[in-house]
Structures are given as structure tokens and as C-alpha cells.
Structure 1
Amino acid sequence: MTAPSRWRAATIRAITPVTPRVKSFRFTPQPSPFEGPHRAGQHVDVRLTAPDGYQAQRSYSIASAPGDPAGLELMIEGLEAGEVSGFFDTVAEVGDEIELRGPLGAFTWGPEEGGPVLLIGGGSGVVPLLAMVRERALHAPEVPMLLIYSVRSGAEAIARAELSARSRDETGFDLTLLLTREGATAGRRIDRVMIDTAIECLGMPRHAFVCGGNGFVGAVADLLVDAGVRPSAIRTERFGG
């Protein structure tokens, strides 16, 4: 898919808290501000322009499934030093207009690609994977999919209630939630045993998607290869350090 390169205006339609630090922002319903629906896993560039002409931009993964009638959804974490995230955290209001460019990126999955699909996310890296989970539920419920989600605490887990409900109610979708700083799994990281258990439950994945920080993604990708997943089946998206 060729991404539109021009910037387009988008209006914030709704703002909803997701975790203590993350908010959901819904924008103008699709296909506007894009020429067509995105693919699950893609991102957009967001640009803000100050009255004096200063501009700041940042990339954010799309959380909504393609064609969601509720509009394009971004889940944005408020960061103390973040120019763009700080605006969304403390300034942005419903009705505000910003600029978006996209959709962008090849970190994508669609129903036509089939499965089994193994998703592994760390922290806010779960957002593009959430779009894939939602896309599966809408258009390919027969595709086996399993999500391993590593996050520091239950309170910080993005869409925890939704993912838990899908795991309970949707045949063929399973969730492994790893809380690294609380409860029985405090101090644990995703390891070979967890990967092997996921593959035993899911089957050898036809596609594996890993998203998170650089160190997280590198370590998990190595574990997948060690477990016998074809390197060509592994796609990664890295967020910062």
C-alpha cells in the first residue's frame, strides 16, 4: 500500500482515559483524513504547529481496526519531556484540529495472510498489536492468534479489560499477560519457556509480530528464532531505547 505523503487536517472527536498515563484519542471518521483505510499495525505521523510557526511531530501507532466507524484511534502516553505527547496529555480538547500524515509502515497483518499469528508486545508496544486483534475479531475470527503482553503493572496494561474479555469470549484468541513488577510474575521477563508454551498452545506461527523498546524486541526476536520460528516469519517494530 502506498501511503499518502501529504499532511491532512484531523479533528479530535473523543478523548478517553485508558491507563493513568495513556489516553485514547478518536479522530475524524475514516476514510477522511486518509484516502482509504489503513492496515492493522500501521502508524501515522502527527504534527503540531505553534502560533509562532514552530512545529513538532511524532509517530503513533493506530489502535483501531481498519474501517472502524468510530474513527481513527490513537493511544498516546503522556511523557514529561514529550513535546507532542505533552500537548495531548494536558492541552488537547475535543474539537481541536491537528495534522496527520499516513497511514505508514509495513508492520502489518490482514485476514488474507492467515495464521497462526503470534503477537508479542512490551508496554505501549501493544497498540499496533491491538489493532491486529481487533481486525481478526471483525474479519477473520477463524485465524488462531495469541498475544503475549509484557507490562510493568496491571494498572499500566493498555486495553486490559478488552483483551481479557476477548480471550475469554473469542474462540481462537488467547492472551498471556506478564506483569513484571507486581504479583507472582514480578521480576520475570519473557523467556524461552513462555515462548515454547505459546507455540504449544498456538502451533508454530506463520506470522510473528514483536513490538516494544529496542532491547525488548531484540531479545524476543532471538528467543523466537531459538524456538524454531522462521526468521522470515518475524516482523518487528521498535520504540526508542
Structure 2
Amino acid sequence: MTLPDTGLEARITPPGSAAVRRRPAWHAATVAAVSPETPNARRIVLEVPTWPGNDPGQHLDLRLTAEDGYQASRSYSIASSGEATSVVLAVDRVEDGEVSPFLVDAVEVGDALEVHGPLGGWFVWRPGVSDRPVQLVAGGSGIVPLAAIAGAHADAGDAAPFRLLYAVRTPEDVFFRTELARAGAAGVDTTIVYSRRAPDGAPVPAGRLTRETLAAAVFPPDTGALVYVCGSTPFVEQVLRWLGELGHDTTDVRAERFGGS
């Protein structure tokens, strides 16, 4: 998933959070594992010996260098968090993209890459900082940073109420099935909306996300929930409009948009 350049360094942290000073830097990375994530996406695990760790919701820049010296760099959300030197990405193929087709179709275990990070201080969540409810809203591969947040919540046994609303096309397009199931078992109230085809026995038939579906799935405005929204630009803009119409305080909403890669 690609993200816009926010210009924020990892050491910039939201008010009231426990700051961990991690200066962004370029790091040598080796592909440690690859596996299909969806029919159009791939999970890539990088081993980065000098990685300083990252907070849930942060991202990195990944740089490829061709044999002729040409370089291409794109930003990707990080699906893992914590102090480990193992960094998990999930890359969705953009057919006319310059970087994602290589990462999805060609990169192999043992390949050397370069990453710059960790990046971003606004779209993060840290366990134990607040007991405010947290609402996650994801569209497609926008689940990547939110899966990191939900996983950190589950791992920490955090007491804050959590909900996740995830919009995808079909059951096969769901990212991080095992991780989301574990988060659900840890108390993350999860609603998945399928726009094209729902699985057998689904409580709601397939159909696009609507304002009414959103209102039924998310915390009510009077709960004061902190809301994280991630997905394509049209998806995010629509969700932000609906949240405003439903009475949510826009200062409590953090959004990340992604485009082609």
C-alpha cells in the first residue's frame, strides 16, 4: 500500500503519547519470506538488522535499484510493530505501477532491498496511553496499518474498546485473516462489508458500503472515539464526509490515503 509523503518524522508523536525517539534512516534489508496474501497481493517479510523498531501505524519508504543505476522509491505501510528487526509488508499489485508488480511477482527470498524509516507520527496508536475507544475503518489494502494497530492492541491486552470496519470486494480479498481473527478473539469488534460477493452465511448481503452501514458499525459520535481511516483516496474522502454528517468530531479522525505504485 502506498502512502503520500506526510513530511512527519517518526520522532513526532501525538499529544499525550509516550514518545520513543527513532530517527528515520536508510537501512539495508533482505527478503526473508514471501507468501500470497490475496490473489492480487503478496506478504513480504524483511529482515533489517539495523531497524530501530516502529509504532503501530507507521510506514517506510522502499527503494529499488536497477542494474543500470535507475532507482524507484515508494512508501508502504508496515503491518508489524515493536522492537523486532523483522518488518512485515503487504503489497497490492497496481497493474501499471512501477514498483508493486516487481514486489508482488518477482521479488524472491534473499533479494536485497533498501528501506527508509520508520516514518510518520500522526497515524499511530500506542497501547496503554489512553482508554478512549478506537474505531478502525479500512478499505481494501488500507487494512495494513490498521492490522498493525489491532495486533498491538491484542498483544498488549489493552483495555480500550476497539472496533474495526473493513470494506472489501470478496472474501478472497481479505488481508491478514489469521491476524484479524486473533484480534477479534482479543475483543476487537469486527465488521466486514463485501461489495461484490459475500461468503455463504454472511449476515449482510453483498453491497457497497453506505452511510447507514457505516453508522451501524462504528462507535457513536458521543463516545468520543479516536477514528483511523485508511484506503484509496475516494474511499477515505467518502468515509470522512459520512463521519462528519453523522456528527463525529473531525479533530478525532486520522486518515491515510494511498494511490498507485
Fold shared per TM-score above 0.5: yes
For 1:191, which of 194, 211, 215 is the aligned residue?
211
For 2:72, which of 56, 59, 62 is the aligned residue?
56
What stretches of structure 1 move > 4 A for 4+ residues in a row? Answer: none
Cα offset for 1:214? 1.1
Cα offset for 1:20? 1.1
**How many correspondences in the alignment?**
234
Task: Provide Cα deviations, 1:193-232, integer angstroms capped at 9, x if missing partner.
Answer: 43244325x9724310000111111111122222222111
CA distance in 1: counterparts of 2:118 and 2:196, whole angstroms:
34
Structure 2: where are the runs of 5+ without partners? 1-9, 12-21, 199-203
- SS at structure 2 position matched to 1:150: strand
CA distance in 2: counterparts of 1:92 and 1:74, whole angstroms:
13
* Cα pair distance change 1:185/1:28, threshold 3 Å: same
For 1:100, which of 115, 118, 121 is the aligned residue?
115
Counterpart contact for 2:61–2:116, Cα < 8 Å: yes
CA distance in 2: counterparts of 1:178 and 1:227, whole angstroms:
19
Cα offset for 1:129? 0.3
Q: How is 1:66-215 mapped onto 2 (pairs within 5 angstroms)?
A: 66-68=82-84, 71-105=86-120, 106-111=122-127, 112-167=129-184, 169-170=185-186, 172-183=187-198, 184-199=204-219, 204-215=223-234
CA distance in 1: counterparts of 2:147 and 2:210, whole angstroms:
19
Task: Provide Cα deviations, 1:15-35, integer angstroms capped at 9, x if missing partner.
Answer: 121111111111115xx333x
- Equivalent position of 1:65 in the other structure: 81
State the TM-score, normalized to the length of structure 2.
0.83
Structure 1: where are the runs of 5+ without partners? none
- Equivalent position of 1:41 in the other structure: 57
CA distance in 2: counterparts of 1:165 and 1:139, whole angstroms:
13
Higher helix share goes to which structure?
1
Cα offset for 1:173? 1.2
Counterpart contact for 1:47–1:100, Cα < 8 Å: yes
CA distance in 1: counterparts of 2:29 and 2:151, whole angstroms:
23
CA distance in 1: counterparts of 2:147 and 2:100, whole angstroms:
20
CA distance in 2: counterparts of 1:37 and 1:114, whole angstroms:
24
* Cα pair distance change 1:89/1:25, threshold 3 Å: same
Q: How is 1:26-37 mapped onto 2 (pairs within 5 angstroms)?
A: 26-28=45-47, 32-34=49-51, 36-37=52-53
State the TM-score, normalized to the length of structure 1.
0.89
CA distance in 2: counterparts of 1:139 and 1:156, whole angstroms:
28
Counterpart contact for 1:116–1:203, Cα < 8 Å: no
* Cα pair distance change 1:80/1:197, threshold 3 Å: closer
CA RMSD of aligned residues (A): 2.1
Larger CA deviation: 217-226 vs 207-216: 217-226
1:238 maps to amino acid: R
CA distance in 2: counterparts of 1:213 and 1:197, whole angstroms:
20
Cα offset for 1:165? 4.3
- Equivalent position of 1:234 in the other structure: 253
Cα offset for 1:46? 0.3
Q: Larger relative contact order (C-alpha < 8 A, sep ≥ 6)?
A: 2
How many percent of aligned residue pairs carry the same amino acid?
38
Cα offset for 1:141? 2.9
Larger CA deviation: 210-219 vs 77-86: 77-86
Task: Provide Cα deviations, 1:68-99, integer angstroms capped at 9, x if missing partner.
Answer: 47x11000112222221121122211111100
